[in-house]
A and B are shown apart, each in its own frame.
Chain A
Amino acid sequence: MHVPPWFWFALVTLLSWGVAGLLQKLSTNHISAESSLIWLVVGFLLLEPFFYPGKSVFAYSAANLTWALLSGVLNALGAWALFAALKSGGKASIVAPVTALYPLVVIALVPFVLKESITTLQVAGVICSLIAIVLLSA
């Protein structure tokens, strides 16, 4: 059986974010959601020395560097919007599953942005995942 290489990386993401989700639950028992986000960014910063690219960063195209920086802005902005939704009276049981559906935006935009094809079996996997995401975060 040949497991595709991306699968192992995705598994690491799944595990680390899964544990991170629990830590987030625990942290918001003690501090506010905003403080939790601020300390999360500090946690990101702790890792920066290990990933410091030096001058090699200038070898990349300006467009791709912009996407990388903007991805960070949007991620943090999304987290803030989630807190704002909960604070302005949104029920967690509705807001959480709705916001977890962000892959739908990606699925909708991919055909226009990237030329990628997907097999029928993979489509089945994507549908199973979307159902799972809604049920798990409900």
Chain B
Amino acid sequence: MALKDTLKARWFWYSNLCVLCWGGWALLSRLGSREISPQTMQFLFTIGTLPVGLALLMARKFKMEPSPRGITYALLNGVLAGIGGLALFAAYHTGSNTAMVTVATALYPMITVVLAVVILRERFRLVQVLGLGFAVAAIVIFSL
């Protein structure tokens, strides 16, 4: 796709918005964690997510798919994401290097890729194997 078309595409700007929001989220998490305990950070963070969740709910006119499996997976997703968030705030709270903690925790797709192969029987693709190699190298460097 030509650059001109990409710059006109809505998905391109939404993607940029996502990057900016998540970058801001990580940076503000680090700033807040200098003083605030990880538990309280996670508590306040969740309150912050509520307006967006409510706005989505209203946009859908409170209609949700009645899928017990879908809901169970999504709820568990929230619980695990919350526990991960708590640990992220704890990592930031130790006063360690912000860039390192942020990139190290952003490596989580490596676990998802491995689990998708083991549990969902998806196949490894060459790029993913390469990615895993770089991820392992990074983690070894960070542990030094």
Interface residues of A in 35-70 (CB under 8 A from B): 35-48, 50-53, 56-57, 60-61, 64-65, 67-70
Complex CA gap A126/B105 in Å reads 11
Docked-complex contact A56 and B40, CB < 8 angstroms: yes
Given contacts A22-B112, A82-B14, contact A68 B48 (CB under 8 A): yes
B78 to chain A, nearest CB (A): 2
B15 to chain A, nearest CB (A): 4
* Chain B 109-134 near chain A by CB (<8 Å), digits 1 or 0: 11111111001100000011011111
Interface residues of A in 1-29 (CB under 8 A from B): 1, 3-7, 9-10, 12-29
A88 partner residues in chain B, CB cutoff 8 A: 9-11, 14
Complex CA gap A136/B96 in Å reads 25
* Chain A 111-138 near chain B by CB (<8 Å), digits 1 or 0: 0011010100110111011111111111
B96 partner residues in chain A, CB cutoff 8 A: 4-6
A64 partner residues in chain B, CB cutoff 8 A: 31-32, 34-36
B contacts with A, residue count (CB < 8 A): 108
Of B10, B22, B40, the contact of A68 (CB 8 Å cutoff)? B40
The residue on A at minimum CB distance from B31 is A67
Chain A contact residues: helix, strand, loop or mixed = helix
Given contacts A69-B44, A75-B45, A130-B103, contact A31 B67 (CB under 8 A): yes
Complex CA gap A110/B36 in Å reads 19
Given contacts A73-B48, A128-B137, contact A106 B67 (CB under 8 A): no
A92 to chain B, nearest CB (A): 10
* Chain B 15-55 near chain A by CB (<8 Å), digits 1 or 0: 10111111111111111101111011111111111111100
A37 partner residues in chain B, CB cutoff 8 A: 52-53, 56
Given contacts A13-B108, A103-B106, contact A44 B30 (CB under 8 A): no
Docked-complex contact A137 and B35, CB < 8 angstroms: no
Chain B residues with a Cβ under 8 A of chain A: 9-12, 14-15, 17-32, 34-37, 39-53, 56-57, 59-60, 64-65, 67, 69-71, 73-88, 90-92, 94, 96-116, 119-120, 127-128, 130-135, 137-138, 141-144
6 contacts across the A-B interface (CB closer than 8 A): A6-B100, A21-B112, A76-B49, A78-B18, A102-B19, A125-B103
Known: A15-B108, A72-B44, A98-B19. 15 other contacts (CB 8 A): A16-B84, A22-B119, A27-B73, A30-B73, A37-B52, A41-B52, A43-B74, A44-B49, A67-B29, A72-B49, A76-B52, A89-B11, A113-B31, A132-B134, A133-B107
Counting from the closest, the 9 A-B pairs by CB-CB distance are A43-B78, A72-B48, A18-B111, A105-B23, A90-B11, A30-B70, A135-B131, A78-B21, A21-B112
